[in-house]
Amino acid sequence: MPPLSDLPLIPLPVEISNSEGYLYVNPAKSFANEGADAGAMAYLKSKKVPALPLTTSMDTNLQLMDGAYLLQIAPEGVNISAKDQAGLLNGAITLEQVVAFSPNTERGLFLSAGTITDQPRYTYRGYMLDVARTFFGVDTVKQVIDRISTYKINHLHLHLSDDQGWRIEIKSWPGLAQIGGMFEVDGTRGGYYTQEDYKEIVRYAAVQGITIVPEIDMPGHTNAALNAYAELNLDGKARDPYVGTDVGFSTLDANKEVTYEFIDAVVGEIAAITPGPYFHIGGDESAVTPHDDYVKLIRRAQKIVISHGKKSIGWDEVALAGLDEGSVAQLWASAEYALKAKEGGNQVLFSPATRTYLDMQYDSLSPLGLHWAAYIEVDSAYLWDPKTMVDGITDADILGIEAPLWGETIRSIEDIDYLTFPRLLALAEVAWTPQPQRNYEDFLRRLRAQQDWLKEKGIGTYDTRVLK
């Protein structure tokens, strides 16, 4: 029976100490779990973890950081301690993996005794799904949530609008979804979420500890909106639908007041049904927007977001406009812009395309994905340290890590799985585990077991060459 410290947990906890003995769980026995945290129990139930003798304790006076936890396994049972709800949930997520990789026979489940002391390196650990270029329905989004939560991903960024499609109902501007949502890449039929659909995604994600981050891209990547409403265009003429993959050709008119009425309505309706603190305004690849117009629109858009009680996130170009207090720049291409955001007192969300873009091919033989940024194998996704990537930016300046999956080449959950796994596991460990604790060879040992577990659950995963 392997000691607790030998289990192939990803992301690797900060500290695992082994104890004598083990916990035996009789499958014929039921446990009341009276007083156990409802959120932790709901998570374990959603993952079909067998019933365990589990207790939890939340004490705001514990000397633990936000999201940290203690997981103690003894012959008498399991206890999770934390100072906040996020910590209890993180402990439950680790327990899910402990159970999955422990001996489970006809006689019952055997958990090695020990203590896991753990905390996140970064507060924000994200995954982005591009539903604008290729639309995925509520059930598929739920499947994605099921998969990513197991690796302590706690934010799901939904890219809800782009040139190819508008994917969420806006009741005061109904044509955005009804007209702008008709198509997707390659001209196939698109779709959109009603606000009730979106609320269901938010609810489902919350059970698994995930905050939804909605994105409405502006001033570029807006052809679907420009197709639906002529008045948003510079010349007052509606654009034709666009189903290709080029970028940088569309823009809102920064000098029309109707543009800001549109932004306010869209942000207001989505913010009202988004409990999380963030609203993403895009801001990237606005090649045809004059600089002064770009600055004007991004500045006003940030203030609109703030007026609706949210914090603004934008792709790194938004730093050119200057960021309001609390706004975040998402580094994808420009270290210069990220440094500019930091110098203005703002945090940076790291999504460097050469390391984190899950839509990049693994190698030249990969049937899905692109390679304009890089070929990204598992070693490329794992072997980097965010705090050394940009001179002048330290861990304190980094909000977290996000792994985007853009939608040009994906059409199904199988495609999503192929490009996501196993690279997301590498990025989850970058985002969670302290740099001194990370070891690539040990990660590969654990990754082999995780790959097998994913396959046992029917989740497709690329057979990475680094394990061969």
- Catalytic residue positions, numbered: 285
- Are 167 and 193 in contact by the 8 Å Cβ rule? The answer is yes
Write the CB contacts of 385 (distance below 8 Å, at least 6 apart in sequence): 430, 435
Cα(204)–Cα(138) distance, rounded to whole angstroms?
Answer: 10
Specify the pairing of strand 77-82 against strand 69-74: antiparallel
Write out the H or E segment, with its range, that includes residue 305. helix 291-307
Q: Which residues are within 8 A (CB) of 269 and not within 5 positions of it... i.e. 6 or more apart?
A: 170, 171, 172, 195
Q: In whole angstroms, what is the distance from residue 192 CA to residue 132 CA? A: 9
Structure-token match 């057979």, residue found: 463
What's the sign of the alpha-carbon dihedral 262, 265, 266, 271?
Answer: positive
Question: Closest by alpha carbon to 341, among 372, 312, 320, 362?
Answer: 320
- For residues 409 and 134, the answer to whether their CB atoms sit within 8 Å is no
